[in-house]
Structure formats: structure tokens, C-alpha cells
Copies of this chain bind each other. A is one copy, B any other.
Amino acid sequence: MMSDPPDRVTKARAAYHVIQDAMCAALAGIDGGSFSVDRWARSGGGGGESRVLEGDGSIERAAALHSDVWGETPDRLSDTMAVGSTNFRATGVSVIVHPRNPHAPTLHANLRYFELDDGRSWFGGGADLTPYYLYEEDATHFHRILREVCERHPIADYPHWKRSCDEYFRLPHRGEARGIGGIFFDHITDPTMHEYQVDLGSALIDAYVPILERRSDTPFGADQEEWHLIRRGRYAEFNLVWDRGTRFGLETAGRTESILSSLPPRARWVYRHAPPADTPEAELLEFLSGEPREW
């Protein structure tokens, strides 16, 4: 047991709370609704605070999840990282936003910090965007903000992390990317990652909120909603079949309701659905099925 938490965990945990607060405030401000707050305890040690907004506003569901857990190191922790360790401590924050309007993209972001009792520690995380219609200016804006954060921190490697994100957020069984990517990093031991994560966390609002605002009033009809739901089915497929964090959580008796709050609130599956040629729907699909783009 590490009941007296080392300084770095305390710092990370506090920074993640600030990010959680700021994202909730920004999202609730746009939506007009409010987040419900659930505190939960983990039987093996620690716990978390899950905040979820599910109202009638422009956001159909948003989740801002904070956790700070410790205990015996699970065998499966991060592949082979657990070898030689008996106890671990992990803290993290995740934000997932599923807007109601099909023209507004889904945001996913996660920042996390791990420590093992053999002295090893590392940072992981990232942020990515999943649009249902391809607005190049949105993708360019999102990537520009992420790249600028990276440029302010010597430890950050935007080109590498952008590529890792493209590789990770893929549905091999569909031959499709999940969205327009972002950044993804893991197992970064350098302690200056703390300052990078603080900066990234606060930049998430700039990266996403203006996009959510400018797309939330776009008119849409039943056809666009159907497309939205079909693409959200793909999002559910990625999270349930391929996402390592989701699978690890479900297979190791994590808190199911928090883990699955990343799923879309509604989804649709249609056998062999294919959008008509030369439509915005076909354009998105063509992009997702092709090589990743530099934004």
C-alpha cells in the first residue's frame, strides 16, 4: 500500500481535477444543462469521480471521468510493464463528448499517469476527433491546437504522436479509421510530461469547443441522423472490440458504468450500408478508408 502518495501522483491528480472542472464548465456552458456527479470507490484501493451530462441540449452525452486508484498490480497491466512490480498507482482523466448534431464531431481525450512500486513511472494519453461529416477546417483547427501545444514542450513529438494516433484509432475489421485522429502517446517517463499534460488539458477547450459551437446549429434531417447513428455504431465497435483501455477495464472488473459512458447514447446497425456516391457521407467514408492525412 502506498498510503502516503509520492509528490508526482499528487500533482497529476490535482492537475486532472482542474482539467475535469474546466471541461465540465465549458461544456455545461454550451449545452445549458449540468453534469451529475458520482463518486465511487474501488474495492482494491482508490476510486474516482464520474461526471455525466445527458440532457436535451446540444450535447447528447458528455462524460468527464477522474480516477485515482492503487493496489496490487494486475498481471495484464500495460502488457509486460507489470513484471517485477507488486503494487501500482494510477490516476487519470477522460473526456468524451457525443453531440446531438451529426455535423458536430465526437471528442475523446485521456490523460493518465502510472507508478509502480519498483520505481518506474510513466505518462500516457491523447486526444482525437471523430466527425460524422468531414469539415476540413475543423480537422485543421483541432490538429493545429494539438501541434502548437507540442511545440511548446521539448518532450512532445507531434509527428510521432499524430502517427501513433492514426495507427491506434483504426477498425481493422472495417478497413477504416475511427476519425480524423489527433495525438496518442504512452510509456513516456520524462517528468516534464506533467507540464505538457497540464498545457494539453487546458488546450482541449480551445481545440474542441469552437467546433462544437459552430456545428451545433447546423440544420439536419432524418437522413443525416440515420448516418450519424450508423457511424456511432462504428464508434461502439471500436470501443468494445479494439480499445485496450475499455477491454482492460471490462476484463478486470473496473467500474462498468464509467468505462462504458464513452459509448454513444444511441447507435444503429444496417446490413451492408453504403452511402450513395458523391454525397458528403461517401466523402467521409472515402477519407476514413484512405491513408491518414497531414492536417
Q: Is the interface of A mostly helix, strand, loop or mixed?
A: mixed
| Residue A61, interface by CB 8 Å | yes
B52 touches A271 (CB 8 A): yes
CB distance from A281 to the nearest CB of B (A): 17
B266 touches A267 (CB 8 A): yes
Chain B's closest residue to A229 (CB) is: B266
| Residue A240, interface by CB 8 Å | yes
| Residue A277, interface by CB 8 Å | no
| Residue A216, interface by CB 8 Å | no
Residues of chain B lying within 8 A (CB to CB) of residue A263? 233, 269
**Which residue, A229, A251, A256, has most C-beta atoms of chain B within 10 A?**
A256
| Residue A265, interface by CB 8 Å | yes
A143 to B90 alpha-carbon distance, docked (Å): 47
A229 to B270 alpha-carbon distance, docked (Å): 15
| Residue A54, interface by CB 8 Å | yes
Q: Which residues of A contact B (CB under 8 A)?
A: 36, 38, 52, 54, 61, 63, 172-174, 229, 233, 236-237, 240-241, 247, 250-251, 253-254, 256-257, 259-261, 263-272
Task: Provide a sorted-by-A list of 21 A–B residue pairs whose CB atoms are within 8 angstroms.
Answer: A38-B272, A54-B270, A61-B269, A61-B271, A172-B250, A173-B253, A173-B254, A173-B256, A174-B256, A236-B236, A237-B260, A240-B241, A257-B271, A260-B269, A261-B271, A265-B268, A265-B270, A266-B266, A266-B267, A266-B269, A267-B267
